[in-house]
Every structure is written in structure tokens, then in C-alpha cells.
Amino acid sequence: MTMVPARQLDAADPLARFRSRFVAADDPSVVAYLDGNSLGRPLAVTGPRLAGFVAQEWGRRLIRSWDEAWMAEPVSVGDRLGELVLGAAPGQVTVADSTTVVLYKLIRAAVGARPGRDEILVDRGNFPTDRFVVEGIAAERGLSVRYLSAPHDSGVRPADVAAAVGERTALVVLSHVAYRSGFLADLAEITRVAHDAGALILWDLCHSAGALPVELDAGQADLAAGCTYKYLNGGPGSPAFCYVAARLQDELSQPVWGWMGAAEPFAMAAEYQPAKGIRRFISGTPPVLAMQPLKDMLELIAEAGLEAVRTKSVALTEHAVALADELLAPLGAVLASPREAAERGSHVTVDHPRFAEVTAALWQQGVIPDFRPPDGIRIGLSPLSTSFAELERGLQAIARELRSG
Amino acid sequence: MTMVPARQLDAADPLARFRSRFVAADDPSVVAYLDGNSLGRPLAVTGPRLAGFVAQEWGRRLIRSWDEAWMAEPVSVGDRLGELVLGAAPGQVTVADSTTVVLYKLIRAAVGARPGRDEILVDRGNFPTDRFVVEGIAAERGLSVRYLSAPHDSGVRPADVAAAVGERTALVVLSHVAYRSGFLADLAEITRVAHDAGALILWDLCHSAGALPVELDAGQADLAAGCTYKYLNGGPGSPAFCYVAARLQDELSQPVWGWMGAAEPFAMAAEYQPAKGIRRFISGTPPVLAMQPLKDMLELIAEAGLEAVRTKSVALTEHAVALADELLAPLGAVLASPREAAERGSHVTVDHPRFAEVTAALWQQGVIPDFRPPDGIRIGLSPLSTSFAELERGLQAIARELRSG
């Protein structure tokens, strides 16, 4: 196979111009940033946006900004996220809490809505937090957990779910894109399989939101959660999002009863009366400052178009696989992600027994992928900020380190 | 009584110089900001701090900052908060989540540690979120809630707790400073009373942290929670703090099992094993960006000295009471806060049937207290950013509005 050179791919990339919209994208000390799937780069407008927010909305409008803007933001930012990224009609998404807390609230709500069923079905390949939350809830509610185990370089398929789901299943918890292998699950078909068995389904979108079109409404999803600091560039520890399909909202009850999820937050009421609609899934005061960076990234995605983002993401992962085949396979590294682009999200994982030490050496050189146990280097490709040349520099550096060992 | 004029009080105030350290403290469009107890003003360094954080720690160090700084911050910022503000030795405080979520986790942990006891004792005067969380947990765990009802202009005293606590009490949940009346509870003595009955106690510090010395360790407190956007000036929706006394940490188990509270977060382990110490009370990825503004306010408090902050707070609330007596009482307003400075936090509430409409009119003029149902104006006095002249302008404006009605 003849690989197209990175320079040529960059020259032909219609999204190449977006790279300059990020902070220090051409900082020479960062040779290759291949971890936008863990922490997206900040946009160039984020610093000034925050400084302006402090000076004006917080500093001059002071508490009045709660009435003028902030009370609406967990839902208005959620609506924009729903429209541009999640395939969700308005009134179904909020932005608040950490992903872990959102998972806790949604899983508790879901199992509470299926009282005759005593099992939660999860993938062992789910990110640890998802499994931990499920196991904690199962322990406290007297439920059992049933595990799916997909191949290391793949993920959960509809037939796997069909074989495991049944009349005991209250809820299925799966990742849309697997955090390690990058496998992209068939959201609509697996949702259908779960529903056929009478179960609810919760999708973890951490590794897909912002990198490819998610179709929650079209796929009839029930619940979804995800973070905003990966492909949504919200900054370290930025708030999570929470999706609850409109048809379920008034039937579900989440356990963390806070004033901001009450029907009338400022009535200081004697008893908790949950708000109608998606607001009942909010608990405490929403993280307004922390959700500001996300707003600009959503508009950048709107400008680029999510289909174009996905097209570039596929081109990047294709190039990553080709480079891994050419440069790393001869040195004993093994691809741990699907070969079919249609089955991949926006990262590619390669395994080699020496990758723990290799990753440490790479970081010293400004080549920054991340490491996932036991022996994987994860190459995260954030379509609006990663260039093909950067990707190539990164994989060449990995090969160099492997050869030098 | 002859009141000392505000100008003279400001001239003699050793902390007066700190006012200029806040954004737009002399913005002429804000005639009087009396709501620093709901949302503290930003420090002048906050905008540049955030812009610098985006450019450098996030923008250039990228994911490496998790190793270099951020993983430590929930505890290192917590330790500094403990030392300067909460009277807590290191290793007992984290910064993360919303106050509501922290309350949920701590109350669940506490009732789980007192399995033979089926009652939670709370004050009806607690902020709604505290009551809502308690009631939600009681409903799900089959516990009952017992309510204390203090007088409208006062709060809970040791004898009230002694009369209500008993062998059924698992946990007592109280506010250190009452959100409406401003009553300052006797933390050490009430804690002793709760412990004598074998109960645990959780203190809500939202309305005291940063305005007066809190002595959690000296008072033998078990658990505490509070927000950082009031007297700690962390910004809208900034993260909460969570205190668990060292002696209890390994005995308590919180319900939201997340990867960041696990013993080895990056091991991607098969099973949740909680971290030792205070880290087990963390759940998801900590809100790193959102905790940055707090760091500067803590250093400002260190520079001023918390005892001096309290001294000024007392002088401000004394002046507020004197002004209310002189200007508002003749117009039918009634003080709804303690007259004794030793029994007050840093805000004063005054009631009048017309105060809902008066507050709306005041906001239009740049006079900004807040309103609390059914008929209270709450005058919040943030000691490092509020001047006596500002307070006086505010109370004169309230009187003017009452007279014009």
C-alpha cells in the first residue's frame, strides 16, 4: 500500500484552517498532541471569553446575572449541545455535575423505574467509572450486575446484547465509543434490542460527543451522559451533560434532591417538588463559570459542520492505522482498534509490552498520546485541532522510541 | 444613640484597602452591592489568572498538567481552605461537586455508619437543599426526619438539640450560620450534645466559610460541606468543599463510586477499591478550571487575617443593625436577625411586607441586596469588599423606596 503523505492530506483538508483557532496549536515544544480525546485544547477565544465573563457578567452584573442569563444556561447550553452534537430536540439535555454524578443519578432513576427487574447489564470494556457506579448502585439496591465481554480490539454488538438482555434486565449501560479500543457501537440497533426486552438503556457518550454525529432522538435512546472536556474542549473538569428522553422525564425520579431541581427554586419551599421536564435532573447550583468554554466550541462545531468533522476524523484514524501498520507493526506493536472506519470513533489504540516506558519518554519530547493499561498507547485525534503532519510526527516518534529500546 | 458616620468607619477600617483588590468595586453603576453572601465579587486577579491558566497550564502543558498539578488540587486547595478558613488539619477537605451533591454523599455515608438508628435531625431553618437532600435520603432509606424549629429571627441552640437528639438519631444536619436570619450556631457545644447521644453531625458552612473563623477540628465536628461562591469568591457555581474528620474517613463509605475516588484511578481496575483518606469522597473528574478563582481568594484571606475579617464583619453587621433601627424601623420594618453580634454571621435580614417590590426597584437603581420569602431583605456584608459607605447608601435607598411606596 502506498500512503498519501501527511503534507498532501493537510493541504487537501477543508478543515485545516480550524487548527489556528486553538491556543498554541503550533507551539514548537508540543511536537504532537494526540490526547485531545482526554483533554481537548483550549480555543483561542477561551481566555478572553473567561476574562470578559469575569469583568462583565460576574464583575458588573453580579448576582443579577442569575436572572439575566445563568439560570437558563444549564438548559440553553444543553439545548445547543443537543442540536449540534447529540441529535436531541430541545428540553432534553442539561449541563452540570461530573459524568460520574450524572451516571449515578440516571442509573438510580432508571432502576427505580423498572421495579420488577433486578439486573443491570454492562460492558466490562466500559470506562471504570461507569462500572463502578453500576456496581455501587447494585450493591445498595440489591441488584445484580451482568457483564458483557467484547474482544479487546472491538466492542459490543447488537447480537451480544440480544443474547444477554432479558426480562430481568432493568437497564443496559454501554459506551457509544469504547474508551480503549475506540469501537463505535450501533446505538440505534442496540437500543432497539434493549427495548424489545423491556429494558431501558443509558449511553455513555464521553468518547463520541463532538467527534461524530450522535443521534439520540432518532435512535430512541432513553438516557445518555458524557463529559465536555474531550472533543468538546470545555477545559479540565468541565461539567458533564445529561440527556433524558422527553417521554421519560416525568416518570423518572433522580435521588439527589436539590434546590435547583425543584419546581420553584427561590420559593424556599417546605417540601421538595421536582421541576417539570429536564430541570428535575439538576441538583445543586450549576457550574456557570465552568460551562463558558464549551459554548464557543459548540459554535466552532456549528461552523465546521459535524459531518465534516466526522469525515476528517475518519481520514485521521485511517491514516493512523496505515502509519501503525507501516511503522509500528514491524516493531511488534499490535492494533487494538477496529480496522473498519465505520466501527471506529476518533481514536486508535496500539499495544506493545514496552508502551508504558515509551509513553513516558515521548512526553519528555513533547509527543503526547496517552497510555492505557496494560500496554496500550491511545492516539486521540481531535478533528478540528489535529493535523495529519502532527499525527505522523507522533507515530514516527513512537517508532523511534521502540527502536531505541 | 449616636451613630458613627460611615465615612469615619471607612477611614478607620484597617481592611479598607482590600476593596480595591476586587473587580469594579467602585463601578458607579453599582451603588451598593449587598449580596456578596450569595455571590462574592471577583478579585481583580481572577480574570488574568484564568486567562493565564488557559494559555499555559491548559493550553501548553495540556494533559501533562494532570500529573504536574491538577490531580493534587482537590486536596491541596482543600488543605489550604482547611488551614485558613475551616480550622481543619491537612487531609480532611476536598473541593469538588456542588454543595447539594456533597451533602448527598456525606449524609448517605453518615446514616450508613449508624445502622441501628433511623432518624435524621434537621432544622426547618436550614437552606432548602439541605432539607431536600435529607428528605430524599430518608425516603429512600426508610428513615424518618425530625425537625427543629427555631424562632424566625434566631437559630438552633444546644438546648434545642439536646431536647431532640436521642438513641434513634443517626445524624444531625445544621447550618453554622442560618441562611435567612444569619444566626451563628455554637458549633462546638452542639457537636458535643450530638456526640453525647451517639449521633454524628454535619455542618453546612455555606454562610460562614470565609467570613468568620470556623473551628471544625477544635469543635470535634464529624462532617461539613459548603460552597465557595459566597465569601470565598469562587465565581458562579464554583465547586463545593467536603470535610470529613480524619478519624472517620476509613469507616465511612460514600455512594457515588467514581474513578477519581478509587485507590488507583489510572489502573482502570476491574473493581472499585476506595482510596485511603479523604480522596475516597471524590467521585468524578474534579472541576479544575472552576476551582482556580478560589485559590487567590484564600491567599487574600491569609493576607488580611481571618480574625480581622471577622472583626470587620461584626462592625459591618453592627452598623447595619443601627441603620435598620434608625432608618427602617420607623417605616415598619422589623429586624429578623440576632441583636447580639456574637450570635450573628455576616448578614442581617430585615422584614417588611413590601420588600418583594422594594427589592425589584432597588436592583434597577444598582442597589443590590437579595430577597428571601416571605418578606425579607437580606443585607450581605462581605468583609473584604464591602465598605461602610456602601452599606449606608444601600440602607438609605431601602428607606427611600419604603417611603415612596
Q: CA nearest A45: which of A18, A84, A77?
A: A18
Rg (chain B; Cα; Å): 22
Q: CA nearest B280: which of B88, B66, B91, B86?
A: B91
The one catalytic residue in A79, A123, A204, A222 is A204
Q: What share of chain B is helix, strand, coil (3-state, %, to 5)?
A: 45, 15, 40
Q: Which of A21, A71, A100 to mutate to test the interface with B (most CBs of B within 10 A)?
A: A100
| Burial class of residue B268, CB neighbours in 10 A (0-12, 13-18, 19+) | middle
Q: What angle do CA B378, B103, B161 make, to 5 degrees?
A: 70
How many contacts, defined by CB atoms under 8 Å, are there between A and B? 274
Distance from the Cα of A2 to chain B's closest Cα (Å) equals 33
In the residue annotation, A217 being an active-site residue is answered as: no
CA dihedral A95, B125, B244, B110 (to 10 degrees): -90
Q: How many residues does chain A have?
A: 405
B285 Cβ contact list (under 8 Å, min separation 6): A98, A99, A100, A227, A229, A236, A237, B260
* pLDDT score recorded for residue A310: 98
Q: Which of A242, A283, A370, A379 to mutate to test the interface with B (most CBs of B within 10 A)?
A: A283
Residue in chain B closest to A180 (alpha carbons) equals: B268
- In angstroms, rounded to a whole number, what is the distance separating the alpha carbons of residues A211 and A345? 7
CB neighbourhood size of B47 (10 A) = 23
Q: What DSSP assignment string belongs to B51-83?
A: HHIIIIIITTTTTHHHHHTGGGHHHHHHHHHII
The B119-123 sheet, strands edge to edge? B93-95, B241-244, B223-226, B200-204, B169-175, B119-123, B144-148
Strand pairing class (A169-175; A119-123): parallel
Tens digit of pLDDT for each residue in A174-209?
999 999 999 999 999 999 999 999 999 999 999 999
- In angstroms, rounded to a whole number, what is the distance separating the alpha carbons of residues B350 and B364? 20
* pLDDT score recorded for residue A26: 86
Instruction: Spell out which residues of chain B touch residue A235, defining contact as CB-CB under 8 Å.
Output: 54, 58, 288-289
- In angstroms, rounded to a whole number, what is the distance separating the alpha carbons of residues A72 and A279? 10
Tens digit of pLDDT for each residue in B358-372?
999 999 999 999 999
Instruction: Spell out which residues of chain A touch residue B238, defining contact as CB-CB under 8 Å.
Output: 287, 289-290
Query: Residue A348: is its pLDDT beyond 80?
Result: yes
* pLDDT score recorded for residue B285: 97
Q: CA nearest A18: which of A401, A402, A382, A369?
A: A382
Residue whose cell numbers read 484571606: B301
Cis ω for the linkage preceding A255 (within 30 of 0): no
The one catalytic residue in B18, B22, B127, B241 is B127
Mean pLDDT across the stretch A73-98?
Answer: 98
* pLDDT score recorded for residue A240: 98
In the residue annotation, B33 being an active-site residue is answered as: no
The one catalytic residue in A22, A127, A243, A371 is A127
Mean pLDDT across the stretch B200-218?
Answer: 98
- In angstroms, rounded to a whole number, what is the distance separating the alpha carbons of residues A204 and A156? 13
CB neighbourhood size of B192 (10 A) = 16
Q: CA nearest B81: which of B387, B354, B297, B345?
A: B297
- In angstroms, rounded to a whole number, what is the distance separating the alpha carbons of residues A256 and A283? 6
Q: What angle do CA B297, B301, B306 make, to 5 degrees?
A: 145
Alpha carbon B5 to its chain centroid, in Å, reads: 30
In the residue annotation, A204 being an active-site residue is answered as: yes
Distance from the Cα of A369 to chain B's closest Cα (Å) equals 9
Tens digit of pLDDT for each residue in A247-282?
999 999 999 999 999 999 888 778 899 999 999 999
Residues paired with A349 in a beta bridge = A378
Residue A230 · residue A241 · CB < 8 Å = no
Tally DSSP H helices, then E strands, for chain A: 13, 13
- In angstroms, rounded to a whole number, what is the distance separating the alpha carbons of residues B98 and A96? 9
B373 Cβ contact list (under 8 Å, min separation 6): A266, A267, A268
Tell me if residue B87 falls in helix, strand or coil.
coil
Query: Residue A112: is its pLDDT beyond 60?
Result: yes
Mean pLDDT across the stretch B374-391?
Answer: 97
Query: Residue B353: is its pLDDT beyond 70?
Result: yes
B288 with A370: Cβ contact below 8 A: no
Residue B405: pLDDT band (50, 70, 90) is confident
Residue B396: pLDDT band (50, 70, 90) is very high
Q: How many residues does chain B have?
A: 405
Residue A16 · residue A348 · CB < 8 Å = no
- In angstroms, rounded to a whole number, what is the distance separating the alpha carbons of residues B274 and B260? 9
* pLDDT score recorded for residue A263: 92
* pLDDT score recorded for residue A369: 97
Distance from the Cα of B2 to chain A's closest Cα (Å) equals 33
Average pLDDT of chain B, as a whole number: 96
Distance from the Cα of A129 to chain B's closest Cα (Å) equals 5
* pLDDT score recorded for residue A1: 54
Q: CA nearest A281: which of A224, A232, A234, A238?
A: A224
Q: Which of A21, A289, A367, A370 to mutate to test the interface with B (most CBs of B within 10 A)?
A: A289
* pLDDT score recorded for residue A270: 81
* pLDDT score recorded for residue B3: 84
- In angstroms, rounded to a whole number, what is the distance separating the alpha carbons of residues B395 and A296? 41
* Cα torsion A207, A210, A215, A220: sign: positive
Instruction: Spell out which residues of chain B touch residue A101, defining contact as CB-CB under 8 Å.
Output: 97, 101, 256, 258, 283-284
* pLDDT score recorded for residue B270: 81
Distance from the Cα of B190 to chain A's closest Cα (Å) equals 24
Residue in chain A closest to B112 (alpha carbons) equals: A140
Instruction: Spell out which residues of chain A touch residue B70, defining contact as CB-CB under 8 Å.
Output: 236-237
* pLDDT score recorded for residue B1: 54
Residue B308: pLDDT band (50, 70, 90) is very high
In the residue annotation, B183 being an active-site residue is answered as: no
Pick A258's closest partner by Cβ from B46, B48, B100: B100
